[in-house]
Amino acid sequence: MFQQNNFHLVNFSALSAVEVGKHLYWHIGNYSIHGQVFLVSWLVIFTLLLVAFIGTRSLQRMPGKLQNFMEFILEFLQDIAKNQIGEHEYRAWLPYISTIFLFILGSNWAGALIPWKLITLPEGELAAPTNDINTTVALSLLTSLAYFYAGLSKNGLSYFLRYVEPTPVLLPINILEDFTKPLSLSFRLFGNILADELVVSVFTLLVPILIPLPVMILGLFASSIQALIFSTLSAAYIGEALEGHGDH
């Protein structure tokens, strides 16, 4: 959550050093752990694991409301993976796409629904993990590794032929595209979530009772859309990498 209107640039070459406001850090040896991101991320992970455990511990032929809800979520995530990756290959990537979607959705909603300001920290404030650039860059790099692995595992070294198709002249552009994909994924998610929390914070300060409510509802909708976009694009990149170089 935004606290002070200042930007702290440690090093222009280190993207992870860009910070907005103050943050809580834990220092372990030579390493610094972002306390706010760590705490909220593990809360989201624990919540997702708990819901998954409760929702699947006693499956019935005639499902109840919770099992129906869990099956609806599974079918929704299957549709995302199947539509982007393909009928025959999506199952191997369904766990990754599902995890990405659920973690981003949980993180976004954690920032929008939970009144973190009621919890006082020595420095900084608790907020959605996805409003920190380090989290979104890490998620986008995971997607980059995933689609490189997908392409190499299926096509071997011939995967790299895609860089010279349809003509070798496009080699620099095709290489640049692989660098812009994670940048686009990370900055889109980071920018939208940070902007949403800034807008809610400003409206809460100006008109603390009625006006922030519709903005928060809109923020929940936008947060859901961002999780859908990130997971859909991740699946699309993996599906593209799985195509044979001669299939383009």
Lowest mean pLDDT among 176-185, 190-199, 210-219: 210-219
Long-range contacts of 58-67 (CB under 8 A, 24+ apart): none
Percentage of the chain surpassing pLDDT 70? 77
DSSP-assigned states of every residue in 138-187: HHHHHHHHHHHHHHHHHHGGGGGGGGG-S-GGGHHHHHHHHHHHHHHHHH
Looking at residue 11, its pLDDT comes to 44
Q: Is the pLDDT of residue 211 over 80?
A: no
Q: Would 1 be classed as within a structural domain?
A: no
The whole-number average pLDDT for the span 220-230 is 88
**Closest listed residue to residue 204, CA positions, set 129, 130, 131, 112:** 112
Q: Would 51 be classed as within a structural domain?
A: yes
Q: Is the pLDDT of residue 8 over 50?
A: no
Q: Report H helices in the chain.
A: 35-56, 65-85, 90-113, 133-155, 171-206, 212-242
Instruction: Give the residue numbers spanning the domain of 33.
Output: 7-242
Q: Would 178 be classed as within a structural domain?
A: yes
Q: Would 58 be classed as within a structural domain?
A: yes
Q: Would 176 be classed as within a structural domain?
A: yes
Measured between alpha carbons, how far is 102 from 128 in angstroms, rounded to an integer? 14
Lowest mean pLDDT among 106-120, 178-192, 194-208: 194-208
Overall residue count recorded for the chain in this entry: 248
pLDDT digits (tens, 9 = 90+) for 147-161: 899 888 888 888 787
The Cα-based distances of 109 to 4, 157, 218 in angstroms read 22, 41, 12
Q: Would 93 be classed as within a structural domain?
A: yes
Measured between alpha carbons, how far is 171 from 163 in angstroms, rounded to an integer? 5
Q: Would 33 be classed as within a structural domain?
A: yes
Looking at residue 79, its pLDDT comes to 93
Model confidence pTM above 0.75: yes
For the chain, what is the domain count? 1
pLDDT digits (tens, 9 = 90+) for 62-107: 878 888 888 899 999 999 999 999 888 889 999 999 999 999 999 9
Measured between alpha carbons, how far is 61 from 73 in angstroms, rounded to an integer? 18
Peptide bond into 214 cis (omega under 30): no
70 touches 55 (CB < 8 A):
yes
Q: Would 20 be classed as within a structural domain?
A: yes
Looking at residue 22, its pLDDT comes to 60
